[in-house]
Structure 1
Amino acid sequence: MATLHDVRRTAAGLPGSEERATTGGAAWFVRGKPYAWECHPWPSIPEEIRTIIASELVVAVKVADRVDALALVEMAPEVFLRTTTTWSEPKVAFRMAAIDGDHLAELVTEAWRVQAPKYLRREFDEAAP
């Protein structure tokens, strides 16, 4: 079972990443742009999704486009939730209890790539073993 500590550990290794406390929980930004965040059961979220978010830890990440998000939901509907709100689209939300650590790290890193400027992506790629 993945935790917010796992998100923090991955985010800590990404250039320019910073964690902020928000009204909805923890969120991670690069150059002022959010790329991962803890979901909160806002009233604007459909009731069945809001119930899940209220009962367990759910995190959302930016994705390159809506097609990527839909593919993840179709591939593993027990892990990925259909859309929550239109804020910060395209994105995908997932149940932390249902995702493994390697997939979590991949999702967070790819979300960071979507939001990070080229020079930070280059810095990250050049530092990779």
Structure 2
Amino acid sequence: MATLDDLRRTAAGLPGSEERATTGGAAWFVRGKLYAWECHPWPSIPPDMREIIAAELVVGVKVADPIDALALVQMAPDVFLRTTTPWGEPKVAFRMAHIDDDHLAELVTDAWRVQAPKYLRRELDSLGG
């Protein structure tokens, strides 16, 4: 089971990454662009998804393409939520209690890559990330 500390550790190793407190919880940005965040049970979220988000830690991340998000949901519907809000698409939200550290690191790093400028992606690549 992954934790926010695991997410923080991964994000701290990504060039240009910064954590900020938001009204919905912690969020991570690269060069001002959001790439990962704690989900909050906003009223605009469908009721069944809102119940899950209210009951446990759910994290959202940016993805490269809506097809990527759909594939994750279809492969592991017990881990990935089918929808949250239309804001910030493409993205996917997942239940932290159902994901391991390695998969969390992969999702967060991929989300960072979606939002990071080329020079920061090259910097990460040169570090072996």
Same fold, judged at TM 0.5 (above): yes
Where does structure 1 differ by over 4 angstroms across 4 or more consecutive aligned residues? none
Alignment of 1:1-129 (within 5 A): 1-128=1-128
Structure 2, gaps ≥5 residues long: none
Structure 1, gaps ≥5 residues long: none
- How far has the Cα of 1:70 moved from its partner? 0.1
CA distance in 2, matches of 1:32, 1:128: 24
User: What is the alpha-carbon root mean square deviation over aligned residues?
Assistant: 0.7
CA distance in 1, matches of 2:65, 2:113: 13
* Count of residues paired in the alignment: 129
CA distance in 1, matches of 2:99, 2:127: 27
- Amino acid in the other structure paired with 2:3: T
Query: What is the DSSP-based 3-state SS (H/G/I as helix, E as strand, rest coil) of the residue aligned with 1:85?
Result: coil
- How far has the Cα of 1:11 moved from its partner? 0.1
- How far has the Cα of 1:102 moved from its partner? 0.2
What fraction of aligned residue pairs are identical, expressed as a percent? 82
CA distance in 2, matches of 1:13, 1:49: 31
CA distance in 1, matches of 2:86, 2:5: 27
- Amino acid in the other structure paired with 2:119: Y
CA distance in 1, matches of 2:90, 2:127: 28
CA distance in 2, matches of 1:22, 1:86: 19
TM-score by length of 1: 0.99
